[in-house]
A and B are shown apart, each in its own frame.
Chain A
Amino acid sequence: GESVGLHLPTLSVQEGDNSIINCAYSNSASDYFIWYKQESGKGPQFIIDIRSNMDKRQGQRVTVLLNKTVKHLSLQIAATQPGDSAVYFCAESLQAGTALIFGKGTTLSVSS
């Protein structure tokens, strides 16, 4: 079945660096994508989302890029901080309002 995968399981950066977390998705019909942050023992926390009719969306210190040609999603975090350390998941929705399918997750470790 369809699944959302990640290229790298772990990413270690220095405080202040920019971080890029990647995600590949398999279903070209997916309409909606979300990046979540999950801290240990907690539920996923919404970071940013993007619809398939867009290729870039910016938030506070975060940017999501969507490349539908190669079915690739990325999350860029500017000036990474120790508080950004967590596991990051991308998720896709095949249709608006249907369940989210999660990728494997990337652990981001920020050292000061």
Chain B
Amino acid sequence: GAVVSQHPSWVICKSGTSVKIECRSLDFQATTMFWYRQFPKQSLMLMATSNEGSKATYEQGVEKDKFLINHASLTLSTLTVTSAHPEDSSFYICSAMDRATANYGYTFGSGTRLTVV
């Protein structure tokens, strides 16, 4: 089945630094990837939709200059949290879409726990 690898699984960084999270589709081409953020005991909140080769579409309230998304290939999307602050500490999850399946096959990564100190 479709597999999405997300790396790193956890990261601790100092306030003011930047962190990059990678999301890779291992056995299919993901023309579209979605990035979500999840705070403790809350649901997944969509941050942005990333289409290969074009600029990401951000949800209302998500700062595009702070959360940089790059989707340069059909198997890799990256989310960079720039100038991280403690309030950015969260669980970040990517989802890749496999357009080859009838239901567009949303496949989720295992998530990245970001802690900003």
- Report which A residues bind B (CB closer than 8 A): 32, 34, 36, 41-46, 49, 51, 89, 96-105
Nearest 8 CB-CB pairs, A to B?
A43-B108, A102-B44, A102-B43, A43-B111, A43-B110, A97-B104, A44-B108, A104-B43
Could you tell me if B111 and A100 are in contact, using CB atoms closer than 8 angstroms?
no
In the complex, which residues of chain B have a beta carbon less than 8 angstroms from the beta carbon of A32? 103
Q: Mark B1-15, 1 if CB is under 8 A from A, else 0.
A: 000001000000000
B78 adjacent to chain A (CB < 8 Å): no
**A-contacting residues of B (Cβ < 8 Å)?**
6, 32, 34, 36, 42-46, 49, 91, 93, 95, 97, 99, 103-104, 106-111, 113
Kindly identify which residue among A42, A89, A100, A101 contacts B95, using a CB–CB cutoff of 8 Å. A100
The answer on a CB contact under 8 Å between A99 and B34 is yes
Cβ-defined contact, B34 with A42, below 8 A: no
Is the pair B104, A96 in contact by a Cβ cutoff of 8 Å? Answer: yes
- State the majority secondary structure of interface residues on B: strand
Q: A89 vs B95: C-alpha distance in the bound complex, in angstroms?
A: 15
